[in-house]
Every structure is written in C-alpha cells, then in structure tokens.
Amino acid sequence: MAEILEQLAMCIERGKVNASSPYPPDLKGQEGADELCKKALDDGLAPNDILANGLVVGMNAIGRKFSKNEVFVPDVLMAAKAMTAAMEHLRPFFDSGEATFKGTFVVGTVQGDLHDIGKNLVAMVVEGGGYKVVDLGVDVSPEKFLDAVKGNPGATVGLSALLTTTMVNMEKTVSLVKEAVPGTKVIVGGAPLTQEFADKIGADAYSPDPQGALDFLAAASA
C-alpha cells in the first residue's frame, strides 16, 4: 500500500480532518485527511484504491476500537468528520461511475421514533466502510423504506429504534420490505433490541454496534 494511503488511514482513524484542525493535539499543524486525499488523487492513485486502502482501513480501525470500548463517541465522530473531508474529493468519481461503492445501505430510524445518534454512527461507519449510504432520517414509515429499496436495487436495509414503544414498528417494516422485494437483507439495532427480537421479527441480523453492521454487510456481499 502506498505510504500516502497509510497516512490517510491514520488521519481518518485519529480524526485529523485537515491541516488547520487542532485535533488531535499531537498532529497539530500536519496535513489531514482533506489534503492527503487530494494529494493521493493528484499522484494518480485510483479513487477505488484510495477508498479501499485509505478511508476504509481508517474507519475499520476506529470501528473495531469502538466495538471493544477502546475509543468513545467523540473519537468516532472526529474520524467520520475526517472521512467526510476526504470523501468530498472522491465523490465526483462515484457520481460519474468511475469509482464504485461496495454496495448500498438504506438506513433510518423507524416510524414513531425521532432518535438519531445511534443511527448516525452506524451510517458514518458504514459509509467509511466503502458503502453508499441512503440515510432516510428518523420517523421513517415502512412504505418509505420500501420506496428506498425499490429505488436502490440490491440495497441492504438497516433499521434503528431506541424506544421500546417503537421497536414494534420494525416488524411491520421487515414484513413489508421482504414481502415486496424478496431477498432483501435487513439488519436491526438499538437500545431495546436483542438477537431474540431480531429473529422473532424475521430480520437477518442484529448488531449491538456500528462495526457489527459493517461486518454483516461485508459478509453478505462476500
């Protein structure tokens, strides 16, 4: 792997956004994900190569540390911010089709539930894992999830709920999506959820953290 991609992965993992960012203190004044991604493109590296061996490596590293409670939400948010800065340089290549995502992930918080922190963390880590993320936001109806699946053939669906009162709406969404588009994979997560509940409602997987969602996507597309 090119040295610049190793540096880029490190900047993503450490949440070093750009040269003017004071965080993390020990990298103050050094180039960040923003500058390094641009430089990698200028050096002629392929966008897919930069994504796979720079961004994905960095976000995977922070996601795994988060799963093991070695880092916390502020660290993941800063990593995601660095990833977004780098992604801005790659986006035109994905828009033109010159570069491709590993797959599409449709994610949202289910109907009746307005919580978004957990869902946002999952979206950040999955996007950093090389997937196109279609974030439907919060309070998303089963019909809206279905429309998004139809508009993104082959997409995997992620459903989030924080409340015991709204997790019941997951079952309706899973049923509707799987009935209308058989073969669609659905992963669920959120504070009140368990593997048992995921099994009961017919979801394909349950994950207690963002990295689990990314691992599921990787396994499903392998």
Partner 1 sequence: MNSIERIHNILHRQPVDRIGLFEHFWGDTHRKWTEEGHLRPGESIEDHFGFDIQNCWCFNLVAKLDFEPEVIEETDETILQRDGNGAVLRRHKLHDATPEHVDFLVKDRAGWEEHIKPFLTPERARINFDAYRQARRFAADRERFFCWGGVNVFELMHPVCGHEYMLMGMAVDPDWVKDMVNTFAEVTVALMETLFAEEGYPDGIWFYEDMGFKGRPFMSADMYREIVFPGHQRTVGFAKSAGLPVIMHSCGYVEPLVPGMIDAGIDCLQVIEVKAGMDLIQLYRDYGDRLSFMGGMDVRILYSNDRGAIEEELQRKIPVVKGNYGYVLHSDHSIPDQVEYESYKYFVDRGLELGRY
List the structure tokens of 135.
Answer: 């974030």
Which value, in Å, is the radius of gyration of the alpha carbons in the chain? 18
- Least Cβ distance, residue 128 to partner 1 (angstroms): 16
Cβ 149 vs Cβ 106: under 8 Å = yes
Residues 65-124 that bind partner 1 (CB under 8 A): 69, 71-75, 77-78, 81, 112-118, 120
- Indicate the residue among 46 and 208 with the shorter CB distance to partner 1: 208
| Smallest distance, partner 1 to C-beta of residue 140, A | 11
Asked if 190 touches partner 1 (CB under 8 A), the answer is yes
Tokens of 186: 């659905």
**Structure token digits, residue 202:** 């017919």
* Omega prior to 153 cis, within 30 of 0: no
**Does residue 23 touch partner 1 according to CB under 8 A?**
yes
Nearer to partner 1, 55 or 121 (CB): 121
How far, CA to CA in Å, does 150 sit from each of 69, 115, 146, 177? 37, 25, 6, 9
Minimum distance, C-beta of residue 13 to partner 1, in the bound complex (Å): 13
Binding status of residue 21 toward partner 1 by CB under 8 A: yes
Which residue type sits at 82? A
User: Of 4-12, 22-30, 40-48, 89-97, which part binds partner 1 (CB under 8 A)?
Assistant: 22-30
Other CB atoms within 10 A of residue 38 CB: 16
Question: How far, rounded to the nearest angstrom, does the alpha carbon of residue 176 sit from its chain's CA centroid?
Answer: 24
Instruction: Please give the Cα distance from 199 to 194 (Å, whole number).
Output: 9
Please, which residue, 49 or 116, has the CB nearer to partner 1?
116
Instruction: Show the binding pattern over residues 137-176: x = contacts partner 1 (CB under 8 A), - = does not.
Output: xxx----------------------xxxxx----------
Binding footprint of partner 1 on the chain (CB under 8 A): 15, 21-24, 69, 71-75, 77-78, 81, 112-118, 120, 137-139, 162-166, 190-192, 208-209
